[in-house]
Amino acid sequence: MGWRCVGLVLDLALKGRMFPGRVGAERSQSAGCSPWAGVPVINVGSGRRSRMNDPIPDVLAPAKLGPVTLRNRIVKAATYEGLSKKSLVTDELIEFHVRHAAGGVGMTTVAYCAVAPDGRTHRKQLLWTDEALPGMRELTDAVHAEGAAVAAQIGHARPVANPKGNGAPALAPGRRFHATSMSFTKAATRADLERVVQGHARAGRMAIEAGFDAVEIHLGHNYLASAFLSPKLNHRKDEYGGPLANRAWLSRDIARAVRDAVGDRIAITAKLNMDDGVPGGFWLDEAVQVARWLEADGSLDALELTAGSSLVNPMYLFKGDAPIHEFAAVMPQPIRLGVKLVGRRFLREYPYEDLYLLKDARQIHAAVTMPLILLGYVDGYGFLYFGGRSGDWIRVDSENISALLTQNVVRRHPKVVDAVAFGVPDPRSGDQVMAAIEIPEGVEFEDLGLPAFLAVEDDLGTKGAPRFVRVSHALPATGSGKLRKKEMQLEGWRTGDPVYRWAGRGAPEYALMTGAEKAALRAEFAAAGRQRFLP
């Protein structure tokens, strides 16, 4: 279930009524949407607020972002590529961004270009040095040759930085334990913060020299500037701590320094958290005020809205399945063992919902006039959505059913070792819910009493119960132990494993599907003209 998005779309031109209620009254969860009709889409331009009755802007029309003209309003998100070596650009990194440019995005964003050696999350990450400039110029030239603009994300990762790899303690608002390195962070001094501010300014100047069209300042995810915004992480007693105005000084100083350094030669955007996703953290009511201050300062051409904390709650941004096995597999010991044992406390799971950042974004849209940037994706039919991830919703009888919720409910069964849930096509319309479950050797499906178990799970709902259940003592899995959900979804009920189908409106039960019953089901698809949807 990877991200389907090329990334981000600019200035929310909201079609439909604004959410009522006071700013900060609701967290970032939002309902699904239908294609185009009433879908919030985007507009980059003069910063004019789009009226509720305005026509939906053309996503593929050219747009202005500060001094830069984009060929369309689609921007490739700054997601860390992991393709740099020795903090330098590689051919693989160039090819990665050229592919997005050739695919038609208006602008692609080179992720995490650190403003100082101790601001890297990994020692291989890109770093603004004279040695890096030739490779950066080669990258920007290659992207421009495909007709796209290119931005560089600039920032300082502390306290998310890797102190062991960087050879320096992680910098933070105050001293705290750094779980990844098993060490303590260093409380930033005023001199440290001035160095960080000037590092951003220098990065902006070097971005111009390297041929970038824009820079994106990282003020989110509890990286250094975001950590100062957070009342949970920032307990300082000086001018950088306490009230929000003090906690926001570092973010504002950084943005002003970059503007002073680059003028109007390139565009400047910033990534800002709307909600850290942790109790006592930075969230929407404060984010609205910070957005107002950043706009009043005149430092930015657009503001990108995000959520979550790389430090304390990363899954708050991503939603859906928490990849515990994948994270553990790439960690050194003893951290790998720790992730396996207690990873679920850190990598919490949040049910995915379409537009899950939009409700909060609308609150900020109501408070500022500058263009806004929001995570989105385009589905296989060409419809534009926001904050989308494929595979987490199942369309049953015109309703969106959460695959993650069904999966988690089935996993609660004491005799189920593991489970996944996904949608399989219905012979008439939409989908049906299917679950694949792994049970111990010596346990049979009939021993589970699954209908009775599901009947008392109040949070599931009638349409969330699986209509098909694949049963195995060893479901297909990756080398790191994660179930191969996509593979099982493509197989559907055609698998060689036993598949049980819901068979009861009177006496609830699941019945084992025979070969004849599978053939009859295929015939139903043919009769309805939906053979192409057969699993």
What span, in angstroms and rounded, lies between the C-alpha atoms of 282 and 277? 8
Dihedral of CA 133/161/5/50: which sign? negative
Say if residues 138 and 155 touch (Cβ distance below 8 Å). no
Backbone conformation region of residue 279, classed left if phi is above 0, alpha if psi is from -120 to 50, else beta: beta
Which range is least confidently modeled, 19-33, 278-292, 391-405, 428-442? 19-33
CA-to-CA dists, residue 95 to 84, 165, 207, angstroms: 12, 26, 19
The string of pLDDT tens digits covering residues 172-212 is: 777 775 555 556 777 889 999 999 999 999 999 999 999 99
What span, in angstroms and rounded, lies between the C-alpha atoms of 331 and 323? 13
Q: Residue 341 — pLDDT band, cuts 50, 70, 90?
A: confident
SS (H, E, C) 102-120: HCCCCEEEEEEEECCHHHC
- Give the mean pLDDT of 445-461: 87
What span, in angstroms and rounded, lies between the C-alpha atoms of 463 and 474? 27
pLDDT at 482: 78
The token duo for 124 is 């291989």
**Hunting for tokens 């100062």 — which residue is that?**
228
Residue ranges and CATH numbers for the domains of the chain are: 7-313+348-386 (3.20.20.70), 393-533 (3.30.300.30)
Most distant CA atoms of the chain, gap in Å: 76
Using DSSP bridges, classify how beta strands 431-438 and 418-425 pair: parallel, antiparallel or unpaired: antiparallel
pLDDT at 478: 81
Share of the chain above pLDDT 90, in %: 45
Q: Of 193, 201, 200, nearest to 172 (Cα)? A: 193
Share of the chain above pLDDT 70, in %: 75
Using DSSP bridges, classify how beta strands 372-378 and 183-184 pair: parallel, antiparallel or unpaired: unpaired
CB neighbour class for 347 (10 Å; exposed up to 12, middle 13-18, buried from 19): middle
Query: Across 61-75, 353-367, 453-467, which has the greatest mean pLDDT?
Result: 61-75
Say how many Å lie between the first and final Cα of the chain, rounded: 18
The token duo for 482 is 């994660």
Q: Residue 18 — pLDDT band, cuts 50, 70, 90?
A: very low
Cis peptide bond upstream of 159, omega within 30: yes
Task: Please report the DSSP string for 251-269 in residue order.
Answer: HHHHHHHHHHHHTTSSEEE
The string of pLDDT tens digits covering residues 125-153 is: 899 999 999 999 999 999 999 999 999 99
Say if residues 432 and 424 touch (Cβ distance below 8 Å). yes
What span, in angstroms and rounded, lies between the C-alpha atoms of 532 and 358? 34
Amino acid at 376: G
Which range is least confidently modeled, 187-191, 255-259, 371-375, 516-520? 371-375
The token duo for 68 is 């830069």
Mean pLDDT for the chain? 80
The token duo for 503 is 């068979």
Residue 451 predicted with pLDDT over 70: yes
Residue 246 predicted with pLDDT over 90: yes
HSE, CB side, 13 Å, CA atoms: give it for residue 533: 19
pLDDT at 290: 98
pTM of the model: 0.63
Dihedral of CA 333/338/340/345: which sign? negative
**Hunting for tokens 């592919």 — which residue is that?**
99
**Hunting for tokens 């790389």 — which residue is that?**
310
421 backbone dihedrals φ, ψ, rounded to 5°: -130, 145
Q: Residue 354 — pLDDT band, cuts 50, 70, 90?
A: low
Say if residues 107 and 76 touch (Cβ distance below 8 Å). yes
- Give the mean pLDDT of 462-481: 88
Q: Decide which of 503 and 111 is more confident.
A: 111
Alpha-helical (H) ranges within 450-484 are 450-455
Q: Decide which of 486 and 415 is more confident.
A: 415
pLDDT at 336: 76
Residue 529 predicted with pLDDT over 80: yes
pLDDT at 58: 66
- Give the mean pLDDT of 326-335: 71
Residue 378 predicted with pLDDT over 50: no
Q: Of 124, 138, 123, nearest to 85 (Cα)? A: 124
What span, in angstroms and rounded, lies between the C-alpha atoms of 377 and 358? 13
pLDDT at 49: 39
Read off the DSSP letter of residue 19.
P
**Hunting for tokens 């197989």 — which residue is that?**
491
Residues taking part in catalysis = 223
Tell me how long the chain is. 535
Q: Residue 401 — pLDDT band, cuts 50, 70, 90?
A: confident
pLDDT at 342: 72
> Percent helix, strand, coil in the chain (nearest 5)?
30, 20, 45
HSE, CB side, 13 Å, CA atoms: give it for residue 313: 20
26 backbone dihedrals φ, ψ, rounded to 5°: -135, 145
What span, in angstroms and rounded, lies between the C-alpha atoms of 326 and 328? 5
Q: Residue 163 — pLDDT band, cuts 50, 70, 90?
A: low
Within 10 A of 152 (CB to CB), how many other CB atoms are there? 27
pLDDT at 168: 60
**Hunting for tokens 């500060």 — which residue is that?**
66
Say if residues 188 and 173 touch (Cβ distance below 8 Å). yes
pLDDT at 57: 54
